[in-house]
Structure 1
């Protein structure tokens, strides 16, 4: 391949952190050459699994998720979609590219989203051991109420990766919405923490994802036995796990954006995976109405302007 020589005295980005204190890359636009990475992963002959849970009314997001994944996710590589749903008959028929296949896996329907999130960790850990180890090399776990908005490729893959939450990345660690009650297995003290990771996008090698999801599920079961529920459910436990088991790659907030204007955050050059706006009360069933109002109630007020020298 012909490409420009890397320059040791010319950093790829000087406005953001590009490597963590434990030497894990932080992936931003401009920090990688996708053509080099594609060639390296093709030499590995890698297959990537993508898990998504479309349970209860969240099934309405699945069509857009899959259609945009076919346009932007791991283009040119083998992909196995694993659709976990309580409504197999309502999974949309999507024309898949060559080298891609879909498995529809029935799961139980739960009364509360908190129960779904807890059993999501359990289900991924079980299937990692029983099936994914034989079928894929890497596993990407994503929420269904998203759409791919730009290229998301092999640059995200690593032994274990997490994604920085777009709502909190400029805050001090003591302002992160970690679980602060010592009674919970997800407890993180005020003076600890690296980043606040979002549970909507994480992954890695199958053995590492198995260890993560198994540990999170076990911690959630201990909390349940103690009659306590972490403030952000599996996301709180994910953050506790990644604090003590450092990810080998960290995805910047451009990999999980909330569709806000990029000109207010100059460090964000592209929005690659976008959180769909939705009305959490009615969950209307057409794409136009789904995008009318995001009502999760968990986003702090965005800063009016982030300086170019953010870090």
Structure 2
């Protein structure tokens, strides 16, 4: 009886000693990691109380990644000596692809992005009377934008009660983000960068993998899918289909942080269509907003507002992918031969009903006339 009691007591002591040893071992690892500024992410301690053993094994985070199934796909073989398009530039000097019709196989891309189970955030600003465009925007997006993928529509608005009632496909949701309005549309345009930046840090990083940031006075008229996604992408402005960089309407005043010298520049990018991973969009919008605030402190407003700062950013932080004018065209501009599809189109609108007269006068000046060069 006493021997049995002794054996039980000894077993408890052994088990307590084992726990003490494990705690001491863990504290030692933490201490040496902090002291030596090192970490051991691949070391795991496995305890088996039933058999009173401790195992130290190497388990990498990469070992925990799921195995991806290999699925058979049938498609036309690509040929290294047969370019898909010869009438347009397909790749930049820094090896970023320019996305045109026939330059990609959407079935291959969809399969790859479905494996990653990505969710895409689409941001638009519907401030004041611009809420009238939401119905068309969302309805056409449901028909053409990222069909078959998970999408969050992030609607920034000062009029949440004006949201249209639209039934969305499975895996897609409309998120209304109430924001302040501003008297001038230029201020609204520039504040977009600040709002996207702040929400990227506070919310988007936890909810989506990619952000696509566009204007609301638009409609989707053809497929826009995962072919546009990349670390950070910009879109060629529909008003510039050639011509020298000296004719681009960059900010040319040296006092502005958006200043670009006449002998620099790759393309002219549209301010109403950019995106990328949440992290890269945060970097872009943070740069643009900080630069705007610097200029505002010096009583300077860049010639094309947030678009000017976007072009400055892309000059020195090259986009990893560029969308052609297929992804941003203007209704009523005709169809040049190189334009095989018009996927996203700016709507004709009554500026008198949307903006105030002072803003219209600014739009009608010579800069505006020079900006939209005919193709």
Aligned to 1:23: 95
Q: Deviations over 1:16-52 (max 9, x none)?
A: 0000000000000010000000000001100000000
Q: 1:73 aligns with which of 126, 145, 159?
A: 145
Task: Give the structure-2-normalised TM-score.
Answer: 0.76
Deviation at 1:119, TM superposition (A): 1.4
Aligned to 1:278: 349
Deviation at 1:68, TM superposition (A): 0.4
For residues 114 and 10 of structure 1, what CA distance do their matches in structure 2 show? 46
Aligned to 2:225: 153
Deviation at 1:172, TM superposition (A): 1.2
Aligned to 1:36: 108
Matched, 1:163 2:235: yes
Deviation at 1:301, TM superposition (A): 4.2
Deviation at 1:188, TM superposition (A): 0.4
8 Å CA contact 1:150–1:273 kept in 2: the answer is yes
Matched, 1:86 2:158: yes
Matched, 1:13 2:85: yes
Q: 2:128 aligns with which of 56, 66, 86?
A: 56
Deviation at 1:296, TM superposition (A): 5.5
Give the paired residue count. Answer: 292
Aligned to 1:105: 177
RMSD of Structure 2 on Structure 1 (CA): 1.4
Deviation at 1:261, TM superposition (A): 5.2
Matched, 1:205 2:277: yes
Deviation at 1:170, TM superposition (A): 1.6
For residues 244 and 117 of structure 1, what CA distance do their matches in structure 2 show? 22
Structure 1 or 2: larger helix share?
2
Q: 1:187 aligns with which of 251, 259, 265?
A: 259
Aligned to 1:241: 313
For residues 261 and 226 of structure 1, what CA distance do their matches in structure 2 show? 38
For residues 151 and 171 of structure 1, what CA distance do their matches in structure 2 show? 29
SS state of the match for residue 156, structure 2?
Answer: strand
Q: 1:267 aligns with which of 338, 347, 362?
A: 338
Q: Deviations over 1:166-208 (max 9, x none)?
A: 1012221110010000000000011100000001110000000
Deviation at 1:260, TM superposition (A): 3.9
For residues 97 and 211 of structure 1, what CA distance do their matches in structure 2 show? 31
Q: For residues 56 and 182 of structure 1, do their structure 2 counterparts lie closer, same or farther at Cα, with a shift above 3 Å needed?
A: same
For residues 272 and 199 of structure 2, what CA distance do their matches in structure 1 show? 18
For residues 310 and 137 of structure 2, what CA distance do their matches in structure 1 show? 23
Q: Deviations over 1:275-295 (max 9, x none)?
A: 0111211249xxxxxxxxxx9
Deviation at 1:8, TM superposition (A): 0.2
Matched, 1:135 2:211: no
8 Å CA contact 1:169–1:195 kept in 2: the answer is no
Matched, 1:117 2:222: no
For residues 21 and 255 of structure 1, what CA distance do their matches in structure 2 show? 21
Task: Give the structure-1-normalised TM-score.
Answer: 0.92
8 Å CA contact 1:165–1:198 kept in 2: the answer is yes
Aligned to 1:223: 295
* Equivalence map 1:245-256=2 (5 Å): 245-256=317-328
For residues 201 and 123 of structure 1, what CA distance do their matches in structure 2 show? 16
SS state of the match for residue 198, structure 1?
Answer: coil
8 Å CA contact 1:262–1:269 kept in 2: the answer is no
Q: For residues 253 and 296 of structure 1, do their structure 2 counterparts lie closer, same or farther at Cα, with a shift above 3 Å needed?
A: farther
